[in-house]
């Protein structure tokens, strides 16, 4: 889970992919214009989900709009991770999935570790946001 610690952000609404569970606090990407949870292989992300989507929701099977937190380039999040060390501060790394950072992988450069908390928790900036890749 990505927990906002500091920095500017805004909320925008995007259509979710029908029949797809999305938890609060996960990094989301867009596939065919609809939100999906990020994966270890997604490289462009929209932001952080701030509304859960559960299989028991009335609109679960519909592409309804949900709010997403769009952080600025300097926004800091706390997130769970694996393989973090103090030597990795200020280096980029990949995701394990939409909720966790993989401190042992760095081919997609999804996030930068800005503060080491423990081997399983750190403070991160998200590098892979679509808006910043496109110069917005």
Domain ranges of the chain: 8-71, 76-133
Summary mean pLDDT of the chain = 93
Q: How far apart are CA 70 and CA 65, in angstroms?
A: 15
Residue 57 pLDDT exceeds 80: yes
- Mean pLDDT computed over 100-129: 94
Reported pTM: 0.89
Closest to 15 measured CA to CA, from 34, 29, 36? 34
- Mean pLDDT computed over 66-70: 96
Please report the pLDDT score of residue 60 as a whole number: 96
> Which pLDDT band holds residue 43 (cuts at 50, 70, 90)?
confident
Portion of the chain with pLDDT greater than 90, in percent: 84
Please report the pLDDT score of residue 136 as a whole number: 47
Two structure tokens written together for 9: 């952000």
Residue 64 pLDDT exceeds 50: yes
């Amino acid at each position: 889970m990505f927990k906002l610690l500091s920095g500017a952000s805004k909320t925008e609404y995007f259509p979710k992919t029908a029949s797809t569970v999305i938890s609060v606090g996960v990094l989301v990407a867009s596939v065919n214009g609809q939100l999906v949870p990020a994966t270890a292989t997604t490289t462009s992300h929209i932001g952080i989900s701030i509304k859960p989507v559960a299989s028991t929701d009335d609109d679960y099977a519909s592409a309804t709009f949900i709010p997403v937190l769009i952080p600025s380039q300097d926004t800091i999040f706390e997130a769970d991770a694996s393989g973090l060390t103090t030597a990795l501060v200020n280096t980029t790394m990949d995701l394990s999935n939409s909720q966790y950072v993989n401190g042992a992988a760095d081919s997609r450069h999804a996030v930068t570790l800005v503060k080491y908390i423990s081997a399983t928790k750190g403070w991160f900036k998200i590098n892979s946001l679509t808006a910043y890749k496109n110069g917005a």
